[in-house]
Structure 1
Amino acid sequence: MTRDGLPGAAFGAAVVFLGAGVAGGAWPTGRAALVSALVCGALGATLLAVRRGRAAAPEVRDAVPEAPGKTDAKPVRPGRSSLVAAALVWVLALLAGGVWALAAGDDDADGTRADARPTAEAKPAASRDPRPAVAWTVPPAGQKYDEGVGAWGLGSAVAQGRIDGLFAYDGARGSVRWSVAAPAREALCAMSQDVEEGVGLIAYGRHEKPCATVLAVRVSDGKVMWRRKLGGKGLARGALGVGGATAVTAEDDAVRARSTESGDRRWQRATPKGCATLALDADATRALVVEQCGRGARILALDTRTGAQRWKRDLPVESAAHASVVSVSPVVVAVDEADARGTHAFLLFDDRGAPTATVPLSGPEGVLSAHGDVGDGRAVRPLVRDGLLVTFAEKGSMVPTAVVAYSLKDGRKAWVHSSEWQTMALAAEPDGRVAFLASDASVTFLDGATGKATTVLEPDADKRPEISIRPELVPVTGGHVVLNQILVQAEPAAFALR
């Protein structure tokens, strides 16, 4: 190959290289396109300058006369301007390439590649909290497979119902603020879902004996307001709730209400013969009672303070059933009957007891999680807020990996959020968002209206605490507390993410 052919060969190689990229679907864009264009331009200018200089040089040297009076003047080369232009383009190409390399290095240092950045169609990723840390842990308590019964969020603290008693942990330090220890040879066997007017209910029972001792606890300091020993078979399925200043318990022969301050009886409703209470809960306005009578079942709404019946509604049940009260206001119950072709659903009602919607426990999104004895027995209590029923869904696997929301108006799916990890616990955030705990100990926050992830709180991998098979997630001031309710492999009883 001649020297004259070298620039042409280089230019041709560059053109072929870029052409191959276009054919392979890798047309350069952005800074890469600018550098490629400058390189091709520099090669082209170099080729032009060389050809012009070599073709015209002999004739020009013979034809250029000396300027009059300027015998020392040098001849002018026609290719010199082209060479200068080529040199300038090469300088620009090298500068652009250097800037590109530095920018690419910055992208790599941030963990973001240019070709991995989201396009206009890509969904914005949830932000990672830059401060996630495990603030404190509580050592495991009790024996393997001991099972806790619940938890209360208390603002700056959290109360955990363990087998050995009720313990309130400071949300910032993890120290025990107060405790109500279980008596010798007795275990905590029931706990109200919520706290009302600063008082919650717990119950104790002996091994293979009824859950029969009820206590009212003031959560500001752990003071036991009163205790009552129940007769007969004690609590029916651990059904107790607190609404306003009234404690409501479903006992083996009646539903009874007492003052949360003094324990004095306010009212009672005898359980009809042939009926049994399946579930109960209350708020300041109404107490909901789900009863099974023979093969049928019904739901009753009673005035929490007086016991007067507000309404009664038969449920679509024709066999033995399990039930749980998901929400008192608005009214949502979960029903799971023995008949495989029977009712297995969340049932929604208006304030007068009229059915409004049904959400099957098994549907297009998979098997939905409920709490208590309903469904697969998972202890995940669904959330009801802002017109939505929010729970977990299990689809194509043995564990739930999605959070799904349904409208309380018509039961239609509102949104679904899929997770890479098993979804373990739900929590309602004070700002209206929904949070869920995943099996990797991360907490993801979802927009309550759309289900889109907004923030992810993820502890450092080397400090990630173990999660048991049934945890609870409780928001506290400045962070969240995870409570391991069943200890399997010496997991901490509780830990805080802040």
Structure 2
Amino acid sequence: MTGTTERGGAARPPARRPEAWHISGPVAVLLSMPLGASVTSLLLGGLVTLLNLGGRGSFWWAFGGFLGTVFTFVLVIMARQAGLGRVWTGLLTGGALAAALGTAAQGDSAARVWAAAPDRPADAAAVGSWQDGKVVVRARPDAVTGYRVTDGTVVWEWTPPGRDTVCAMSRNTSGGTGVLGHAPGDAPCATAAALDLTTGEIRWSARVTAPGGAGGAVADLVAVSGGVAVLPERGGWRAVGLADGRERWRAATEPGCVPLLAGTGHRDEGTVAAVADCGPEEPPVLRLLAAADGSAGVRAELPAAGRPRHTAVLATDPLTVWVHEKGVRGTRAVVRYDDTGRPAVTVPVNMPGHEIRVMPGEGGTVRTVFAARPVRTALVTGDTLIASGARPDDRRWVEKGNKNGGYRIHEGRLVAYSLTDGRHLWTRELDRRVEGVAVDGDDIWVLSGDRLARVGPAAGTLATDLYLHHLAPLRVADLWVAGDRYTVVTEDGTGSRAPVGVLAPVDPPW
């Protein structure tokens, strides 16, 4: 007998269990998709974060995936009522969408090819670097080391004789040879030596005279151009063959003047710009000398009273010089000279929208990174000056919104000016400040935070934008670019950042 009989004989129907919430197949797919997307984001974000293969948002991609996994798990439990087939369809669909979005979001990146071991001793900061062909060279005061670009093997190491330290480096190299200077301790730089960058052997040595008897490392003391090395002496400059050290020519300073510096642009144009110091109240004299025979071309006077605090030859064709004079009323400008020695274009560094920075620094100060061959954040290509542009509000504090406070960021940009008429041509905004620029053929490369970008010189178009990850120096560094290999050399190689490292572009692993 089924059912129950209530008092009085009436039958009562059996109790019915409440029906579960019915979920159709399409709804199950939709409920499962968030979990598939979250799990995929967690796995891919974690992978690229651990391997440093992805963009700056990889960690947050992984963290968001973790949270999504936790909060959408219950949806999949509910969706199982419609069958596991529907659940798998949703999981795979969500995963595919997340993978596609993640790939697009990561952007291009560069991975480490190799990195040199940290410096020892800890106080041996580098004074300069070169890259010539297959060898990258990092010079410390006590040792100069050559690394093979392809794999980082140390191919040679040269140590200055006795207790000498490296005190000068030519800005350019030629034919696999660079010229450096050395002297005991902080004594004035007294000896120049041609270093074979293939073998690490000295080809020849010669005496030099440092300007004003200055001790320690000196920038632009020696120059290399057109197969000769131009060296300062007491009454002017002497050129010797880069290969054999034999004298080629001499060029005297004007009466009452002494050599101050000899410079070239980033390209070997067969000329050297020699600047002489002519006294505390007299303008320094600039002369353009032919590397082949020492014949004098352009003669000009720099817009300064006495020796400027900073002077740099940015190019010899067109002849372009940066002058940073002492005092708040002193000249601070990039000047291009015509063939008669008159200033054709003057670009003040203090412009209405930004300050042009030829060397790193903050505010009105200039910071020298690598004492013998300083890093520059400006260069001349054709008739265009391309430089770092700084603003007072570039450095700001970003609040995290929690008890850990925040962090400081330094924004930046590249700016370009015509050396034909001084016009501002373009500005390229960057997420971080400019920490190095380099040229490879007609391409301009800029190091900015953890990114390396290729910028078109004509309009500032961003052609390539790579994340550096492992070797992002996050400080001013020397940058060398040759094809698809990017070399980063740091002044301080004792911390977590490698003293020398090479990167190459990579594709995402999925």
For normalisation by structure 2, the TM-score amounts to 0.68
Provide the alpha-carbon RMSD of the alignment.
3.2
Distance 1:208 1:342 in 2: 30
2:108 maps to 1:129 = yes
8 Å Cα contact 1:429/1:475 also seen in 2? yes
Judge conservation of contact 1:234–1:251 (CA < 8 Å) in 2. Answer: no
- Contact kept, 8 Å, 1:277 with 1:291, in 2: the verdict is yes
Question: What does residue 507 of structure 2 align with?
Answer: none
Alignment correspondent of 2:312: 324
SS at match of 1:173: coil
Shift in alpha-carbon separation, 1:478–1:109, aligned structure 2, 3 A: closer
Match of 2:167 in 1: 189
Task: Return the match for 2:148 from 155, 165, 170.
Answer: 170
How far residue 386 of structure 1 moved from its aligned partner, in angstroms, is 3.2
With over 3 angstroms needed to count, the CA separation of the structure-2 counterparts of 1:110 and 1:364, relative to structure 1, is: farther
Tell me the CA shift for residue 497 of structure 1: 0.9
Q: Distance in 1 between matches of 2:98 and 2:360?
A: 49
- The answer on 1:213 being equivalent to 2:203 is no
Question: Relative to structure 1, is the Cα distance of residues 413 and 488 closer, same or farther in structure 2, using a 3 angstrom cutoff?
Answer: farther
Is 1:458 matched up with 2:464? Answer: no
- Following the alignment from structure 1 to structure 2, what is the Cα–Cα distance between the partners of residues 407 and 475? 25
Q: Kindly name which structure, 1 or 2, has the bigger radius of gyration based on alpha carbons.
A: 1
Render the CA deviation track for 1:313-363: whole Å, top value 9, x for unaligned: 122223541311111222111001124223100111234433221111221
Q: Which amino acid aligns with 1:419?
A: L
Going from structure 1 to structure 2, the CA distance change for 1:415 and 1:102 (only over 3 Å counts) comes to farther
* Structure 2 CA distance for partners of 1:144 and 1:358, relative to 1, 3 Å: farther
- Aligned partners of 1:252 and 1:144: how far apart in 2? 37
Instruction: Note the residue ranges of structure 2 that are not aligned, 5 or more in a row.
Output: 1-88, 369-373, 396-409, 505-510
2:488 is equivalent to residue 492 of structure 1: no
CA offset digits 1:192-229 (Å, max 9, x no partner): 11112332211112212011111112333333210123
**Native 8 Å contact 2:287 2:300 kept in 1:** yes
Q: 2:132 aligns with which of 154, 166, 180?
A: 154
Q: 2:243 aligns to what?
A: 261
Is 1:348 the counterpart of 2:336? The answer is: yes
Whole-angstrom CA distance in 2 between matches of 1:166 and 1:389: 32
Quick one: structure 1 residues 414 and 375, their matched pair in 2 at CA, closer, same or farther if it must change by over 3 Å?
farther
* Cα pair distance change 1:308/1:184, threshold 3 Å: same
Q: Does 1:363 align with 2:351?
A: yes
For the residues of structure 2 that align with 1:439 and 1:276, how far apart are their CA atoms? 41
Query: 1:279 aligns to what?
Result: 261
How far apart, CA to CA, are the structure 2 residues paired with 1:134 and 1:203? 32
Separation in structure 1 between the aligned mates of residue 91 and residue 219 of structure 2, nearest angstrom: 68
Measured after TM superposition, the shift of residue 277 of structure 1 is 3.2
Q: Does 1:387 align with 2:383?
A: yes
One-letter amino acid matched to 2:128: G
Amino acid aligned to 2:227: A
Confirm or deny that 1:401 pairs with 2:444. no
Counterparts of 1:428 and 1:492, CA distance in 2: 22
465-474 vs 174-183, which moves further: 465-474
Structure 1 residue runs without a partner (length 5+) = 1-98, 118-124
In structure 1, the partner of 2:444 is 434
Asked if the contact 2:135/2:198 (under 8 Å) is kept, the reply is: no
Contact preservation (8 Å) 2:298, 2:339: no
Deviation at 1:247, TM superposition (A): 0.7
Inter-partner Cα distance in structure 2 for 1:400 and 1:225:
45
- Aligned partners of 1:145 and 1:487 also within 8 Å: no
Deviation at 1:157, TM superposition (A): 2.8
Name 1:475's counterpart in structure 2: 481
Q: Note the C-alpha offset of 1:102.
A: 9.8
In the other structure, the counterpart of 2:101 is 111
Q: CA deviation at 1:231?
A: 5.8
Offset from partner CA, 1:363-408 (integer Å, 9 cap, x none): 1342222249996134442221132111111112355611111112
Structure 1 residues 178 and 422 mapped into 2: Cα distance closer, same or farther (>3 Å)?
Answer: same
After TM superposition, give the deviation of residue 163 of structure 1 in Å. 2.2
**Structure 1 residue 181: Cα displacement:** 2.2
2:476 alignment partner AA: R
**What secondary structure sits across from 1:448 in the alignment?**
coil
CA spacing shift, 1:292–1:133, aligned 2, 3 Å: same
**Could you say if the C-alpha distance between residues 345 and 146 of structure 1 is closer, same or farther in structure 2, counting changes exceeding 3 Å?**
farther
- Matches of 1:298 and 1:174, distance apart in 2: 43
Name the structure 1 match of 2:291: 304
Q: How far apart are residue 161 of structure 1 and its match?
A: 2.1
State the AA in 1 paired with 2:354.
G
Distance 1:211 1:387, change over 3 A: same
Which residue of 1 is the match for residue 223 of structure 2? Answer: 241
CA distance in 2, matches of 1:264, 1:284: 21
2:273 is the alignment partner of 1:288: yes
* Letter matched to residue 227 of structure 1: S
Aligned to 2:367: 377
1:485 Cα offset (Å): 1.7
Q: Could you say what secondary structure the match of 1:228 adopts?
A: strand
The 3-state SS of whatever aligns with 1:411 is coil
Shift of 1:303: 2.3
The residue type equivalent to 1:387 in the other structure is D
How far did residue 423 of structure 1 move?
A: 1.8
- Cα 1:351–1:231 change in 2 (3 A) is closer
In structure 2, distance between residues paired with 1:418 and 1:380: 21
Q: Quick one: which of 435, 453, 478 aligns to 1:444?
A: 453
CA contact (8 A) 2:146 2:154 kept: yes
In structure 2, the CA distance between the partners of 1:416 and 1:466, relative to structure 1 (3 Å rule), is closer
**Greater mean alpha carbon deviation, residues 265-274 or residues 209-218:** 265-274
Supply the distance in 2 between the matched residues of 1:262 and 1:249 (Cα, whole angstroms): 14
Question: In the alignment, does 2:434 pair up with 1:423?
Answer: yes
Q: Please state if 1:414 is matched with 2:425.
A: yes
SS of aligned partner of 1:362? coil
Local SS of the residue matching 1:110: helix
Distance 1:410 1:147, change over 3 A: farther
